[in-house]
């Protein structure tokens, strides 16, 4: 894992069993339909229980200045309590204040690989995923 990988921040203690389960779901290889090609999420996991009540704006402000990706994944109380574990995806454009244009949506763990891979290489932008959420605001994958 690279220190420049996007973060998945768990707003929980590191030994929380649901946090461990979600890490495994995110880390599981995903396969491109029909090709058998395997893809993985290139992310780094960080447990920060003190982030539990932070707004998306405050999460972004708490990121190290050296953090390069323009997005972060957050495993919050909604993620932990829901059966499908929808992860909060925060996208941001920054200036010297690091707080311009915060956008969010939720995504199920099996889609984090697609989001991370495509955003990291600039193949798609944040809005491409946000525009494909369902009526609950959750991204469950791109249409076939």
For position 65, what pLDDT does the model report? 85
Q: Quote the tokens at residue 98.
A: 């690091």
Mean pLDDT of the chain: 92
How much of the chain exceeds pLDDT 70, in percent?
93
Query: 7-139 has which CATH code?
Result: 3.40.50
Each residue's pLDDT tens digit, 5-26: 999 999 999 999 999 999 999 9
User: What SS3 string covers the chain?
Assistant: CCCCCCEEEECCCCCCHHHHHHHHHHHCCEECCCCCCEECCCCEEEECHHHCCCCHHHHHHHCCCCCCCCEEEEECHHHHHCCCCCEEEEEEECCCCCCEEEEEEEECHHHHHHHHHHHHHCCCCHHHHHCCECCCCEECCCCC
Q: Given pLDDT bands bounded at 50, 70 and 90, which one contains residue 143?
A: confident
For the chain, domain boundaries: 7-139
pLDDT per position as a tens digit, 25-63: 999 999 877 788 899 999 999 999 999 999 999 999 999
Q: Taking the model in full, what pTM does it have?
A: 0.92
């Amino acid at each position: 894992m690279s220190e420049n990988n996007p973060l998945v921040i768990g707003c929980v203690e590191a030994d929380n069993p649901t946090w461990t389960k979600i890490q495994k779901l995110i880390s599981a290889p995903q396969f491109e339909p029909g090709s058998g090609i395997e893809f993985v999420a290139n992310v780094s996991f960080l447990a920060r229980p003190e982030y539990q009540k932070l707004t998306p704006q405050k999460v972004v402000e708490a990121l190290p200045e050296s953090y390069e990706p323009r997005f972060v994944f957050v495993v919050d109380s909604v993620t932990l309590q829901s059966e499908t574990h929808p992860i909060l995806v925060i996208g941001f454009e920054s200036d010297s204040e690091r707080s311009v244009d915060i956008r969010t949506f939720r995504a199920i763990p099996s889609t984090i690989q697609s989001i991370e891979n495509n955003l990291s290489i600039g193949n798609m932008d944040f809005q491409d995923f946000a525009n494909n959420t369902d009526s609950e605001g959750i991204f469950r994958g791109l249409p076939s």
